[in-house]
Structure 1
Amino acid sequence: MSEVVAVIDYGMGNLHSAGKALEKVASGQQILITGDADQIRAADRVVFPGVGAIRDCIGVLRETGLDEAIRDVIAAGKPLLGICVGMQALMAHSEENNGVDCLGVFDGEVAFFGEMQDETGSKLKVPHMGWNQVQQGMAHPMWAGIANNARFYFVHSYCVTGMSDDEVAGFCDYGRRFAAAVTRNNVFAVQFHPEKSADAGLTLLENFLRWQP
């Protein structure tokens, strides 16, 4: 029986492009786009994408019970990949929308780029959009075949801060250094969009489909 990879559909992910990219690199796996909590719990691997406002994201997850499904997947030791707002939702708290408590899988905080300054004291332009280099913070199976400082595609106005270095798998610089990828045990999450990041992004998705944490 083929492995099932569930892409969480809660109305806020770029599901079409993420699903198509996963299908492109899948090797016999079934890519299932679903908002059904039981199907997500039953899947072998789970992708948690996201775009839009964090308040709406967390609100929908809690209303539908998908927040508990995500926690159950993590507790079961199944590989989970967070993408963009999906990564931010795994943090403890975001200052977006006047402050929102997130899922608390990680202890990090999500802060607004527009209140930050670069080395010259100028406020950063938001959103941070386009290609930028990711410096790998550790050796990890998800980086297999991907060069250090490879370029990935970003679109975001908020970034993750306050993470311990042993959980930051990748860094990016945009006026200041921020976490571009975080990991703990069976969870790996990225601020960039691998489905929009050409060969490096497809390699990362392929690594996820093979990852055995």
Structure 2
Amino acid sequence: MSIVIINTGCSNLYSIKRSIQRLGYQVSVTDSIYDIKIANKIFLPGVGTASAVMDILKNKNLLSFITCTTQPILGICLGMQLLGTYSNEGNKCILLNKISYSIKKLPNINCTIPHIGWNTVTYTGSHFLFKYIDNNTRFYFLHSYYMNVNQYTIAVSTHGIQFCAAIAVKNFFGVQFHPEKSGHSGEQLIKNFLEI
């Protein structure tokens, strides 16, 4: 199986790679459109600002491919947010528009921003991404922006307000938390994605 992590220039690329390798899979970090097109599974990580990552994807001629791909793709943290319509961060950056919801800044409601640390994730119904993972398991978060809970939400968490912690729409999946930093449960989620 060919597995790629899209090189978005962010800091968590190699921690994701190590998590996948610990599961016994070979994986490459690449921005080669050829390598990405032939991959069986694609990871879309993101750390930092939406506009910076969108510019990187645009400059590497990857935007149209990512938008149209039928391959399973998992967005992590900012990578999940990129599946929305636009981000309110800065000058309303246009995103991939796979889900018709914008990305907003977390409100400071009796909590600190950014949201950093372990938090409970509650999934509704059964979805294969959470196979063999107990409901209300804690995952590691690091973010200041969020997506509202919507019809594509498969898990939620709360930090001041309830927000979307995981989404699924067709072949696009996303998690707001960092599975690569979330111990055994995070690696189980990555394994579940790889075994689609």
The bucket for the TM-score relative to the shorter chain is over 0.9
1:189 aligns with 2:185: no
Larger of the two Rg values belongs to structure: 1
Equivalent of 1:70, from 56, 59, 66? 66
Q: 1:105 aligns with which of 98, 103, 124?
A: 98
Q: What's the CA shift for 1:13? A: 4.8
Shift of 1:38: 1.7
Look up the SS of the partner of 1:96 in the other structure. coil
2-side partners of 1:7 and 1:101: how far apart?
22
Distance apart, 1:60 and its partner CA: 1.2
* Structure with the larger helix share: 1
TM-score of the superposed pair, with normalisation by structure 1: 0.88
Q: How many residues get paired?
A: 196
Q: Give the equivalent residue in structure 1 for 2:54.
A: 58
Deviation at 1:47, TM superposition (A): 0.5
Do structure 1's residue 80 and structure 2's residue 73 form an aligned pair? Answer: yes
Distance in 1 separating the partners of 2:84 and 2:60: 19
1:34-183 alignment to 2 at 5 Å?
Answer: 34-73=30-69, 76=70, 78-113=71-106, 116-118=107-109, 122=110, 124-161=111-148, 163-165=149-151, 167-183=152-168
The alpha-carbon deviation at position 97 of structure 1 amounts to 1.4
In 2, Cα distance between the equivalents of 1:45 and 1:17?
A: 17
Amino acid at match of 2:88: E
The percentage of aligned residue pairs carrying the same residue is 33
Decide which of 176, 190, 193 is 1:205's aligned counterpart.
190
Any conservation in 1 of the 2:3–2:40 contact (CA below 8 Å)?
A: yes
Q: What is the TM-score normalised by the length of structure 2?
A: 0.95
The answer (yes or no) to whether the contact 2:87–2:104 under 8 Å persists in 1 is yes
SS of equivalent to 1:182: strand
Structure 2: state its 5+ residue gaps.
Answer: none
Structure 1: give runs of 5+ residues left out of the alignment: none
Displacement over 3 Å in runs of 4+? none
2:18 to 20, 23, 26: 20
Q: What amino acid does structure 1 have at the position aligned with 2:9?
A: G
Cα distance, 1:10 vs structure 2? 2.2
Specify whether residues 102 and 69 from structure 1 end up closer, same or farther in structure 2 by C-alpha distance, changes over 3 A only.
Answer: same
- Aligned equivalents of 1:101, 1:170: Cα separation in 2: 24
Q: Return the alpha-carbon distance in structure 2 between the equivalents of residues 183 and 194 of structure 1.
A: 16
